[in-house]
Structure 1
């Protein structure tokens, strides 16, 4: 009897391990989320706004007729603890100061990690913060959400040499604070990538190439003069 009980415990442990590895771990809401750091702009349609900061990106989803978000990442990008997210909040537009409870889980499907955030039906916004590796924001898009990306102040994009937003945004403008904003109609794209850099970077790059061009001309002129001198010496002999 004792051996049967022992074997039963082993079987139960294996089954539990299988469940957690196949469906991903489940996590409850942050203990002390802070919704005050986010910008909540309600739209009458589903939309997603990405506010790039010095430390990463703050993402705000406007929710309509949904109780779950399905976010897709490359497995390497989401292998960090807490699914690579922090300060996750789910709020109603009438009371953005207090976050609802939510659950978050993940599964690897066809080599990509899907992160699922479940929240109450009365949720209007779901927001979270993520780290960015380098000065590039790349995301896959599901559905026909309106997409907006706001860059840091004094940053820009659009240079053929330093990087352009892909695909080309439907709108590209600056807000009142001088920050560059890009917008896409989500029904027309499956994803986007934005490479951003300091506004001074294109000017610096142009100056760098100009200096290289001048240096190349000086070197070429020097060798031409030297060749002419050598030819004259040979002719003199």
Structure 2
């Protein structure tokens, strides 16, 4: 009887363990990814996006001081987006890229134009475009790839997790147009508090009084030495991949410079008070020393008499 009880117990334990293993091997995800278009601004920003009739990829980053950035890409005939997320060590389990929204279609059925982007932005209907999300580490840097099964044209927006603070870095590959939209009430450019590197090609304020910074990231001209090497090796400029370019911005509230001046003034006043007290104390001690030496000399003369 005891043997049967032990046998049933062992079978039950094995069944529980097997069930757990099956759950681990075949995860069940009942949730469906929903594209939240209301989280983004689909503005048709085409400043300098057409050169000699050719469309130049354009990306806009809406910065915040709450730890995330809204990225909106305007693409034509692109199959992959390479995103280099900023590491946030305070939230290691946070997804670097989330809420991917696509307004567009496959390139084979699309003609790129300002009117096409305007119609997509006004409609605001998410597209049924298949994509995959993958990660890789290249030269010690984490990359997130949004890959489409076919080239697409239109808007691609996503939320990029960034560390809490007022510092943002984007690595772009020319040619492209890059725009940073600072939070309302924020600015940049002060060498002591924060500035951009390199300097933007254009700065303006939009209808919501937000400061906009624009870079026209063109393909850099190759040096004469590199051109000689290309000619010797039989390579032309089209075979040379453009060099990625890093754009960084440190932004701050518009009242920060005034606060810095007040802080410096307080520190300067405190330093002046300390120095003045030190000078008075030094003078007082010097006077005491002179009195002691004077008394000692008087006693010495009287002793000789």
**TM-score for both structures, normalised by structure 2:** 0.62
Aligned partner of 1:10 in structure 2 is none
The answer on whether the counterparts of 1:33 and 1:99 sit within 8 Å (CA) in structure 2 is: no
The answer on whether the counterparts of 1:74 and 1:112 sit within 8 Å (CA) in structure 2 is: no
Aligned partner of 2:140 in structure 1 is 111
For residue 79 of structure 1, report the CA deviation from its aligned partner.
6.9
CA distance in 2, matches of 1:74, 1:137: 8
CA distance in 2, matches of 1:100, 1:80: 29
For residue 35 of structure 1, report the CA deviation from its aligned partner.
1.4
- Gaps in structure 1 of 5+ consecutive residues: 1-29
Larger Rg: 2
What does 1:69-84 align with in structure 2 at a 5 Å threshold? 69-73=81-85, 80=93, 82=95, 84=96
For residue 104 of structure 1, report the CA deviation from its aligned partner.
1.7
For residue 107 of structure 1, report the CA deviation from its aligned partner.
2.4
CA 1:146–1:59: 2 relative to 1, 3 Å: same
TM-align CA RMSD: 2.5
The answer on whether the counterparts of 1:69 and 1:116 sit within 8 Å (CA) in structure 2 is: yes
Q: Secondary structure at the match of 1:159?
A: coil
What does 1:172-187 align with in structure 2 at a 5 Å threshold? 172-187=203-218
| Equivalent of 1:100 in 125, 128, 138 | 128
CA 1:74–1:182: 2 relative to 1, 3 Å: closer
1:53 and 2:45 are equivalent in the alignment:
no
For residue 76 of structure 1, report the CA deviation from its aligned partner.
7.3
CA 1:195–1:67: 2 relative to 1, 3 Å: same
- Gaps in structure 2 of 5+ consecutive residues: 1-31, 50-55, 105-116, 221-243, 296-305
What does 1:31-42 align with in structure 2 at a 5 Å threshold? 31-42=33-44
1:148 and 2:179 are equivalent in the alignment:
yes
Count of matched residue pairs: 208
